[in-house]
Every structure is written in C-alpha cells, then in structure tokens.
C-alpha cells in the first residue's frame, strides 16, 4: 500500500485497505491491522509527547476508552517519538495530571513508537506545510475488514472533538447494520434516511408509504425513526 517515488508517499484514501505494518508500542509489538481482526479501529496520530494539546487529548481518550471498547473499537495511537519517551509521558499523565476532573488516567491502548516515521509516512500523517518531523492530528476509522472508512486531519495546534469521533464510529456502524444513510447533524436516536428507490414505481410507493413512520420530503429524501435503544442493542457489546 505504501508507494514511494522520490520520497513522495501516496496517502491512503477512503475505501482503501489500511496499510499494513509491524511496530513496537507501549503495549508490546503489534501487527496492524491483523491483530485487531473483527474489530473497528481508530488509528490516530499526534505531534509529540509532553506537549499540552496532546496531553489533553490522551487524557480524554483514556477516560473514554471503555466507551469505545463497548462499541467493539480498538484505539491505537501514534507519535514520532521513542518508546521510553512514550512510557514516561503516559506515566506523567497517570500520576500528575488532573484535567477537567479527569485524573489517575491509565492509557491501556497501544501508543506506537514511530521514531523512524515509517508509519506516519505510509498514512500521510506528515504534511510539510505543518511540519516535516511531527505528525499532524490524523484520525483513521478502519472497519473489521481492514478498510478505511473515514479520515480526519486536524492541524497540530487544534485539539480534536472526541464526541464527534464517537458519533462517527456509531454512525458508520449504524449505516452498516441497518442499511441506511444519515442526515446532517445526525445524533444516535435521530431519524435516518431510507434508501433511495431504484425505480419510478418504487418512488411512487415510497412517497405514499406511511408504514414505519416514514416521512417523505420528496421521493428521493425520506426519513424514518431509528430509536436509540435499537441502535444500542445492535451495536454495543
């Protein structure tokens, strides 16, 4: 998956297989993504250890790790830094930082040692306009088949929205499980978009269909209820 030409790396795209790699982490060696078959993965990068924005992010992710685990999702972090620096930083987070009432946070998910920048390059996390030696805040959502489903990029100085990452994960799982699409600003429990009819006859039927609480704004835009309880029952472990 990694293509190099004069030190240029083709960035992965939505729908691509996640680039494969082996790496050392704060939780031992991993074979990515094979070690997490059957799980969703959120692979995310950050610019450096012992930096303020990254510290707030790791505390937040650490406090939410159980929520992601219940959604069958493995978190995997990456920094262009060494293993000992990673360990020292995560120990500092656990022992010394109290941020917004979050304290004594143990980071149980792996943080990749990528001092050689191999993984960062393969995933397009190095963007020279920001930095040639530090990764931007990239986020890759990878499904249980190892396919990249969503990609987010944040600049180095802007912290990520973690509730949005959780919403994206639940949204992707809802799309797959229920065969629907999701409208603007969708939150779990809101109405979802029914599949577009494939023929004129089906379109006519859809517009006049009052079953399942279907509401049609036009033949191609119809919504229907999908209660939060039904989503939780289907998605959570």
63-91 mean pLDDT: 94
Query: Per the annotation, does 137 bind a ligand?
Result: yes
Tens of pLDDT, residues 99-151: 999 999 999 999 999 988 899 889 988 877 777 667 789 999 999 999 999 99
Tens of pLDDT, residues 82-104: 999 999 999 999 999 999 999 99
Asked if 147 contacts 17 with a C-beta cutoff of 8 angstroms, the reply is yes
How far CA 13 is from CA of 4, 5, 39, 57, 174, in Å, comes to 16, 18, 20, 24, 21
Helices (H) and strands (E) in the chain, counts: 6, 14
Structure tokens at 176: 């797959």
CB atoms closer than 10 angstroms to residue 188 = 18
Dist CA 83 CA 160 (whole Å): 24
Structure tokens at 18: 């996640």
211-231 mean pLDDT: 89
- At the top level of CATH, the class of 4-160 is alpha beta
Dist CA 13 CA 141 (whole Å): 11
Structure tokens at 183: 């409208």
The pTM of this model reads 0.90
4-24 mean pLDDT: 80
- CATH 3.40.30.10 placement within the chain: 4-160
How far CA 45 is from CA of 60, 70, 78, 168, 205, in Å, comes to 14, 22, 5, 17, 48
**Whether the predicted pLDDT of 7 surpasses 70:** no
Name the phi and psi angles at 160, rounded to 5.
Answer: -80, 160
Write down the pLDDT at residue 4. Answer: 40
**Whether the predicted pLDDT of 210 surpasses 70:** no
Dist CA 20 CA 146 (whole Å): 9
Catalytic sites, residue numbers: 54
Please provide the CATH number assigned to the domain covering 179-235.
Answer: 3.30.1020.10
**Whether the predicted pLDDT of 5 surpasses 70:** no
185-196 mean pLDDT: 94
Q: pLDDT band at 182, cuts 50/70/90?
A: very high
Write down the pLDDT at residue 130. Answer: 72
- CATH 3.30.1020.10 placement within the chain: 179-235
């Amino acid at each position: 998956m990694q293509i190099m030409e004069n030190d240029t790396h083709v960035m992965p795209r939505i729908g691509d297989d996640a680039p494969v790699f082996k790496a050392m982490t704060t939780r031992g060696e991993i074979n990515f993504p094979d070690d997490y078959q059957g799980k969703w993965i959120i692979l995310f990068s950050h610019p450096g250890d012992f930096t303020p924005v990254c510290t707030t992010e790791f505390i937040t992710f650490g406090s939410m790790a159980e929520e992601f685990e219940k959604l069958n999702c493995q978190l995997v972090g990456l920094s262009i830094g060494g293993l000992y620096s990673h360990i020292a930083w995560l120990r500092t987070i656990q022992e010394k930082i109290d941020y917004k009432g979050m304290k004594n946070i143990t980071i149980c998910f792996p943080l990749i040692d990528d001092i050689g920048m191999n993984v960062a390059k393969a995933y397009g996390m190095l963007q020279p306009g920001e930095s040639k030696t530090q990764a931007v805040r990239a986020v890759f959502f990878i499904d249980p088949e190892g396919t990249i489903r969503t990609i987010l990029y944040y600049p180095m100085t802007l912290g990520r929205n973690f509730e949005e990452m959780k919403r994206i994960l639940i949204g992707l799982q809802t799309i797959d499980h229920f065969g629907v699409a999701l409208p603007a600003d969708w939150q779990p429990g809101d109405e979802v978009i029914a599949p577009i009819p494939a023929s004129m006859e089906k379109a006519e039927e859809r517009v006049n269909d009052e079953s399942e609480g279907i509401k049609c704004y036009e033949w191609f835009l119809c919504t229907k209820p999908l209660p939060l309880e039904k989503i939780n029952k289907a998605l959570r472990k």
